C-alpha cells in the first residue's frame, strides 16, 4: 500500500501542478499579478518569495492554487486594485487565464497518451468471439469483423464499443463494420441480462496491434477523446441518478484504485506498471480538466460563466455578488469533499 500511496501522490502532484501552472503561465504572460502559487493544502511546509509571487508547498497533497490579485474581492477585503489585478484585466484575458488550467490537464493527458500509445499495444475494435445467444450474431456479424462506427460515431478502440453499448441502454444500434476489406451495415438490438441488469451486444472485443511512428499522434488523440467521453457520459448518468454515491471517489478512493491496479499488473514487471499508471494518469488528467470546467461556483467553469455573462451584457457582474456566489460554492465544495472522504473510508472498510 505504501508504494501505491507514493504512486498516487506522484500522479496527483503532476496533475495539480500542471493545472495550476497553466493558470500561472497565462496570467503572468498576460500581465496579471499572481500573489501566490502553492501545491497542497493546510499548513505550509516550505515557502519562498520570488518577485511579487510567494511559492509554497503545503502539508496535505490534495490540491493547490494559483492566487491572482483581485480574484476574490470578498476574501481579500481589499478594494484598491490596479490594472494588473485579475479584476481589472480585459475580459478575454481573464477567460484565457481561467481556461488555461483545464487546458493544461488536457495537454498533459495528450502528451502522456503519445508516450503510452508509442510503447504499448493498441486494442482495435475487432470482434474476437461471440457469446451464446449473441445479439451481434443475430445482426449478421462474425468474429473478425472490425467495427467502424456505431450510430454514426466512429470508433477506433475496443473500449469505445463497450462505452457506447453501455450508454445505448438497449436502444437499436446502427453499426458499420468491415469484413475482408468490404464494409457492411446492420442494426443490432442489444439483449438484456437479468443477472447483470444491463444490455449486451453479445461480443468479446479486442485485437492488439502496434501503432508506429507519427500514427501515435493521431491515436493519442483517440485515447484522450475516449477518456473525455467516458468522463462526461458518467457525469450524465450521475445527474440522471443512475449512479450511486459509491460510484464517486475522492483521494482515498483513488488511492484504492491505484493500489488495486498496481497489485494486478505488478506480476508482469516494471514496464507494465509504468504503462498502466500512465494510462491511469491520462484518465485522471482528463477527468480533472472536465470537472474543473463544470459551470459550478468556485470551479474554473463557474468563474468562466461570469466572464461570459460580462461578454454578453457588456459589463461585469458586481465583484461582491460574484464573490459571494463563489464563497458559497467553495463552502459547498468543501462539504462535498468531506462527504466523499467519509464515504470512501466507510466504503473500503466494510
The answer to whether 97 touches 32, Cβ cutoff 8 Å, is yes
Q: 209, 239, 271: which is the final residue of a domain?
A: 209
Question: What is the SS3 assignment for 338?
Answer: helix
Q: Are 117 and 128 within one domain?
A: no
pTM of the model: 0.88
Q: What angle do CA 124, 130, 132 make, to 5 degrees?
A: 160
Please list the pLDDT of the chain residue by residue as tens digits (350 residues).
788 888 888 898 899 999 999 999 999 999 999 999 999 888 999 999 999 999 999 987 778 889 998 777 655 555 567 788 998 899 999 999 999 999 999 999 999 999 999 999 999 999 999 998 899 999 999 999 999 999 999 999 999 999 898 888 889 999 999 999 999 999 999 999 888 888 999 999 999 999 999 999 999 999 999 999 999 888 877 777 666 656 666 666 777 788 888 888 989 899 999 999 999 999 999 999 999 999 998 899 999 999 999 999 999 898 888 888 888 888 887 787 777 667 666 765 65
Taking the CA atoms of residue 233, residue 235, residue 238 and residue 242 in that order, the dihedral angle to the nearest 10 degrees is 10
The answer to whether 31 touches 9, Cβ cutoff 8 Å, is no
Q: 193, 209, 225: which is the final residue of a domain?
A: 209
Q: Are 69 and 200 within one domain?
A: no
Tell me how far CA of residue 330 lies from CA of 137, 203, 223, 232, 324, in angstroms.
52, 45, 32, 22, 10
Domains held by the chain: number: 2
Q: What is the per-residue pLDDT across 4-39, written as a single tens digit (0 to 9) for each?
A: 888 888 898 899 999 999 999 999 999 999 999 999
Q: Are 111 and 240 within one domain?
A: yes
Q: Are 147 and 186 within one domain?
A: yes
Q: Are 153 and 133 within one domain?
A: yes
Q: What angle do CA 64, 67, 73 make, to 5 degrees?
A: 130
Q: Are 134 and 117 within one domain?
A: no
Backbone angles phi, psi at 269, to 5 degrees: 105, 170
Q: What is the per-residue pLDDT across 199-219, written as a single tens digit (0 to 9) for each?
A: 999 999 999 999 999 999 999
Q: Are 108 and 128 within one domain?
A: no
Q: Are 127 and 69 within one domain?
A: no
Question: What is the SS3 assignment for 124?
Answer: strand
**192 lies in which domain range?**
123-209
Q: 209, 239, 272: which is the final residue of a domain?
A: 209
What span, in angstroms and rounded, lies between the C-alpha atoms of 196 and 13? Answer: 37
DSSP string, 186-235: EEE--EEETTTTEEE--EEEEEEE---TTHHHHHHHHHHHHHHHHHHHHH
Residue 163 belongs to domain with CATH number: 2.30.42.10
Q: Are 317 and 217 within one domain?
A: yes
Q: Are 237 and 338 within one domain?
A: yes
What span, in angstroms and rounded, lies between the C-alpha atoms of 141 and 212? Answer: 29
Q: Are 223 and 297 within one domain?
A: yes
Q: Are 255 and 106 within one domain?
A: yes
Amino acid at each position: 500500500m505504501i508504494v501505491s500511496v507514493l504512486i498516487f501522490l506522484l500522479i496527483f502532484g503532476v496533475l495539480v501542478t500542471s493545472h495550476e501552472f497553466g493558470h500561472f503561465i497565462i496570467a503572468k504572460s498576460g500581465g496579471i499579478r499572481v500573489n501566490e502559487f502553492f501545491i497542497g493544502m493546510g499548513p505550509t511546509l516550505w515557502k519562498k518569495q520570488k518577485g511579487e509571487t510567494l511559492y509554497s508547498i503545503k502539508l496535505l497533497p490534495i490540491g493547490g492554487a494559483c492566487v491572482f490579485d483581485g480574484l476574490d474581492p470578498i476574501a481579500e477585503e481589499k478594494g484598491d486594485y490596479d490594472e494588473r489585478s485579475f479584476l481589472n484585466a480585459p475580459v478575454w484575458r481573464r477567460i484565457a487565464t481561467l481556461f488555461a488550467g483545464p487546458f493544461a490537464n488536457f495537454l498533459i493527458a495528450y502528451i502522456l497518451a503519445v508516450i503510452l500509445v508509442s510503447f504499448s499495444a493498441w486494442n482495435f475494435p475487432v470482434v474476437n468471439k461471440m457469446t451464446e445467444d449473441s445479439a451481434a450474431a443475430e445482426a449478421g456479424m462474425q468474429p473478425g469483423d472490425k467495427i467502424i462506427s456505431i450510430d454514426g460515431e466512429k470508433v477506433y478502440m475496443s473500449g469505445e464499443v463497450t462505452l457506447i453499448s453501455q450508454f445505448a441502454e438497449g436502444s437499436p444500434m446502427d453499426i458499420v463494420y468491415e469484413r475482408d476489406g468490404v464494409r457492411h451495415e446492420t442494426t443490432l438490438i442489444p439483449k438484456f441480462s437479468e443477472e447483470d441488469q444491463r444490455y449486451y451486444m453479445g461480443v468479446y472485443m479486442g485485437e492488439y496491434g502496434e501503432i508506429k511512428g507519427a500514427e501515435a499522434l493521431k491515436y493519442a488523440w483517440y485515447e484522450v477523446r475516449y477518456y473525455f467521453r467516458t468522463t462526461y457520459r458518467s457525469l450524465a448518468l450521475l445527474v440522471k441518478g443512475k449512479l450511486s454515491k459509491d460510484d464517486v471517489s475522492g483521494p482515498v478512493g483513488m488511492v484504492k484504485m491505484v493500489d488495486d491496479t498496481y497489485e494486478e499488473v505488478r506480476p508482469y514487471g516494471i514496464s507494465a506498471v509504468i504503462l498502466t499508471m500512465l494510462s491511469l494518469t491520462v484518465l485522471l488528467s482528463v477527468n480533472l480538466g472536465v470537472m474543473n470546467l463544470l459551470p459550478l461556483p468556485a470551479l474554473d467553469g463557474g468563474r468562466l460563466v461570469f466572464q461570459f455573462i460580462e461578454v454578453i451584457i457588456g459589463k461585469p457582474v458586481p465583484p461582491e455578488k460574484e464573490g459571494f456566489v463563489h464563497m458559497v460554492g467553495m463552502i459547498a465544495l468543501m462539504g462535498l469533499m468531506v462527504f466523499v472522504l467519509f464515504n470512501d473510508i466507510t466504503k473500503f472498510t466494510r
